[in-house]
Amino acid sequence: TLDLHLELEERLAKYVGMEAALVFSTGFQVNLGTIPAIMDRDDIIITDKEVHASIIDGVRMAKVLKSVQTRFYKHNDPADLEAVMSSFPPDPAKLVIVDGVFSMGGDIAKLPEIIPICKKYGARLMVDDAHSLGVLGGGRGTGYHFGCQKDVDLVMGTFSKSFASVGGFISGPKEAVHWIQMFARPFIFSASLPPSNVATVLACLDVLEQEPERVERVNKIGERVRTELRAMGYNIGETETPIIPIIIGDMMKTMQAWKVFFEAGIYTNVAVPPAVPAELCLLRTSYMATHTDEQVSRVLEVFRQVKDMVQIGG
């Protein structure tokens, strides 16, 4: 660990409104290491059904190492979260884990409804803001987006999205972060993040703090694309962010649509089984502040062509 790492941790903690932060070599390692480290035997972990794979693996690790109890609740359904929470006795410690922005669907966790449930049942709340930082809350994440950051116990983030690098971090109370530093095996037994990557993240923090118009720009692009795709009759689910899925359903049509975009020089992420259920085959698109209006118009034009060529229904 160099002074550069410590500087980054201090700035990240301040940026997301936490007392302390700890930098990991990858974002995946953050969840894989943090979740088992903070849980104890017979504790309870409750997660949204559609959280990121790194959270799922972290929960599995905690189950093996600490014999924790684990349950999922229906995606972004606070009522089901409460039903699950109320099924447990009051004494065991409980941790609720959500994605701030869900990576495949682009929808936002309902923190204003989730937080009162956590308080009612004495649960801690961990938010994975991998896809929220640089986008929501003026760039500071989901808690700031809803004005409830002080009610979030732990915030996780990655550097491979808005920070144009690699790595990740966990942030929260000083005592909790220090505990994670001592007991998160993926942190202890991995090489530190290279200084060049750390410097990149620091530079990106400068940009986010000094050029807020970039955050405004990416959200403006997202709003435009969502509006126009819905007008065309595309099914884009419940997305509220610049992550915009096009849910096609039929795997062959999904692959055909992906091929049309690829040949037009436009890259989309294709999601088919086993990554998603067969009826939810989709193209995942995501947008950047640096995309020009002309580029966005070109993408939308290809969407118009694809809908007729592949015969995609709404």
287 CB-contact burial (10 Å; exposed 0-12 / middle 13-18 / buried 19+): buried
Which member of 94, 145, 161, 307 is catalytic? 161
Which member of 75, 103, 192, 220 is catalytic? 103
Q: Helices then strands (H, E): number in the chain? A: 12, 10
Alpha helices by DSSP H, listed for the chain, are 3-16, 27-38, 53-66, 78-86, 111-120, 142-146, 174-183, 185-188, 195-210, 213-232, 251-263, 293-310
Cis before residue 245, ω within 30 degrees of 0? no
| Sequence-distant (≥ 6) Cβ neighbours of residue 237 within 8 angstroms | 105, 106, 107, 245, 247
The residues pairing with 72 across neighbouring beta strands, listed in sequence order, are 47
Which member of 25, 52, 54, 131 is catalytic? 131
Torsion of CA 161, 162, 165, 166, to 10 degrees: -40
- For this structure, is 52 an active site residue? no
- For this structure, is 14 an active site residue? no
- For this structure, is 259 an active site residue? no
130 and 99 in contact (C-beta within 8 Å)? yes
Positions annotated as catalytic residues are 103, 131, 161
